């Protein structure tokens, strides 16, 4: 166990970062001390209880966006497995990739968002043959050919949002990223894009980590009611049209509710967060901006680099179905395991690096891998590409607001708390 008397606590780290630029340096030294004191004996998984915020979480270094990659690597270098609050963090590439492939031992963790409503979140709440059936039905509805027809609508949404702020010379990035991500998902599902405010509000209430569960019940019910009302109209487009269009829906009513409610819960935040990280990187790097403006064909490669370096979902959760050996450690059956995708993605390089050839990409696992790989990865890539193309077309030169220090907050995904941008009118 980590002794609070021999090293700084997570609170010390957070306080140091809040103290300003000098505090960030001090906090980094504090985190070095935390890692140096982790136990190293074989077969005994190093515990970081009480100090995990500075090692595996963004909470302790929220004042220094861009610093978390360093601490991801430090954790990975220290041990292939870390233990925190009964959860096992697997940190190294070979082990994480093996776990992603082995879905029989590393099963998807059941999400309980709609416990009490008789609705399971599809497809991730299931394993084995039932999960495979759901993916066979849903994968074609989210493949490259399926998402391509909505690009024109996405571009219209992005252009309208950027046009609305261009003449102002300033904006809060989230004011564009939030509606764009919501409109994109709604378009893909075949739901009305104009409902984005309603959906964002309900999803925000459902995912509010600060509120007790019983306060979220009305929002959960309203979200399910919303999905039911839309499906009752039998939409003809998007994923809902794919499932309902020929009158032979492969899902029953509860399965439809489970899938579409789950899609709304998880399908907006990661795109919104990644837009923020992308604009932050571009605001800090004029040469990178100029290169993308001169050669927009590199934008897809830039999107993948941001997903790799600024993983909006640093870990994904699994549950072990049996005892399993990782390195020299044994992870018991029925353990909660978090696969440290962010550490894997930045193992070789923690900086955004564009290739000379737009066709070359560094591989990453921001969308996970194996049978549970993100269903919406093709849509997410297209949304990010289209938004950045429209932004750079209208606002090629911009910067952070004077005196602004980025701060990362955690919810379902890691995201920037705010991102005020400025440019010449």
Instruction: Give the residue from 310, 302, 299 showing the smallest Cα distance to 362.
Output: 302
- Structure tokens belonging to residue 149: 């027809």
Question: What is the pLDDT of the chain when averaged over all its residues?
Answer: 85
Architecture of domain 95-422: Orthogonal Bundle (1.10)
The encoded tokens of residue 89 equal 């963090």
Higher local confidence (pLDDT), 185 or 6: 185
HEC letters along the chain: CCCCCCCCCHHHHHHHHHCCHHHHHHHHHHHHHHHHCCCCCCCCCCECCCCHHHCCCCHHHCCCCCCHHHHHHHHHHHCCEEEECCEEEECCHHHHHHHHHCCCCEEECCCCCCCCCCCCCCCCCCCHHHHHHHHHHHHHHHCHHHHHHHHHHHHHHHHHHHHHHHCCCEEECHHHHHHHHHHHHHHHHCCCHHHHHHHHHHHHHHCCCCCCHHHHHHHHHHHHHHHHHHHHCCCCCHHHHHHHCCCCCCCCHHHHHHHHHHHHHHCCHHHHHHHHHHHHHHHHCHHHHHHHHHCHHHHHHHHHHHHHHCCCCCEEEEEECCCEEECCEEECCCCEEEEEHHHHHCCCCCCCCCCCCCCCCCCCCCCCCHHHCCCCHHHHHHHHHHHHHHHHHHCCCCEECCCCCCCEEECCCEEECCCEEECCC
361 φ/ψ angles, rounded to the nearest 5 degrees: -135, 145
Largest CA-CA distance found in the chain, in angstroms, rounded: 66
Q: Give the residue from 7, 86, 77 showing the smallest Cα distance to 45.
A: 86
Any residues with CB less than 8 A from the CB of 220 and at least 6 apart, and which?
113, 114, 117, 206
**Which pLDDT belongs to residue 46?**
76
Categorize the per-residue pLDDT at 387 as very low, low, confident or very high, splitting at 50, 70 and 90.
Answer: very high
Across the beta sheet with 170-172, what order do the strands follow? 170-172, 420-422, 399-400
Give 144-191 pLDDT, tens digit per residue. Answer: 999 999 999 999 999 999 999 999 999 999 999 999 999 999 999 999
* CA 154-152-291 angle, 5° bins: 75
pLDDT digits (tens, 9 = 90+) for 216-261: 889 999 999 999 999 999 998 999 999 998 778 999 999 999 999 9
What Å distances lie between residue 411 and 77, 92, 227, 378, CA to CA?
26, 24, 23, 23
pTM of the predicted model, to two decimals? 0.86
| pLDDT: which is higher, 312 or 71 | 312
- Predicted confidence (pLDDT) per residue in 75-115, tens digit: 888 899 999 888 999 999 999 999 999 999 999 887 777 76
List every span in the chain annotated with CATH 1.10.630.10: 95-422
Model pLDDT for residues 44-58, shown as the tens digit of each residue: 777 766 555 455 554
């Amino acid at each position: 166990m980590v002794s609070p008397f021999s090293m700084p606590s997570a609170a010390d780290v957070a306080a140091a970062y809040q103290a300003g630029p000098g505090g960030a340096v001090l906090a980094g030294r504090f985190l070095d001390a935390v890692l140096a004191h982790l136990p190293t004996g074989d077969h005994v998984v190093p515990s970081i209880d009480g100090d995990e915020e500075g090692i595996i979480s963004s909470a302790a270094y929220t004042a220094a966006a861009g610093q978390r990659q360093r601490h991801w690597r430090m954790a990975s270098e220290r041990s292939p497995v870390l233990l925190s609050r009964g959860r096992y963090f697997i940190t190294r590439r070979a082990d994480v990739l093996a776990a992603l492939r082995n879905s029989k031992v590393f099963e998807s963790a059941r999400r309980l968002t709609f416990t009490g409503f008789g609705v399971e979140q599809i497809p991730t709440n299931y394993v084995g043959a039932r999960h495979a059936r759901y993916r066979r039905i849903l994968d074609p509805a989210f493949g490259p050919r399926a998402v391509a027809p909505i690009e024109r609508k996405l571009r219209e949404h992005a252009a309208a949002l950027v046009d609305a702020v261009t003449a102002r010379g300033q904006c809060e990035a989230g004011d564009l990223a939030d509606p764009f991500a919501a409109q994109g998902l709604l378009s893909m599902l075949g739901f009305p894009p104009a409902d984005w405010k309603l959906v964002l509000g309900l999803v925000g209430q459902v995912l509010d980590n600060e509120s007790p569960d019983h306060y979220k019940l009305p929002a959960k019910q309203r979200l399910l009611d919303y999905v039911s009302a839309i499906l009752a109209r039998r939409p003809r487009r998007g994923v809902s049209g794919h499932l309902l269009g020929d009158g032979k829906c492969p899902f029953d009513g509860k399965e439809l509710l489970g899938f579409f409610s789950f899609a709304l819960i998880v399908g907006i935040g990661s795109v919104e967060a990644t837009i923020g990280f992308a604009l932050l990187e571009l605001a800090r790097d004029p040469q990178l901006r100029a290169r993308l403006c001169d050669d927009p064909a590199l934008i897809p490669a830039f999107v993948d680099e941001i997903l790799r370096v600024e993983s909006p979902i640093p870990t994904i959760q699994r549950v072990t179905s049996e005892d399993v050996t990782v390195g020299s450690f044994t992870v018991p059956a029925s353990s909660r395991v978090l696969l440290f995708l962010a550490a894997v993605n930045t193992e070789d390089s923690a900086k955004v690096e564009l290739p000379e050839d737009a066709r070359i990409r560094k591989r990453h696992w921001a969308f996970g891998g194996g049978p549970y790989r993100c269903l919406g990865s093709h849509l997410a890539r297209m949304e990010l590409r289209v938004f950045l193309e429209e932004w750079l077309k209208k606002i090629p030169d911009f910067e952070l607001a004077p005196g602004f220090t980025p701060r990362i907050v955690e919810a379902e995904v890691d995201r920037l708390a705010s991102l005020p941008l400025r440019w010449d009118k």
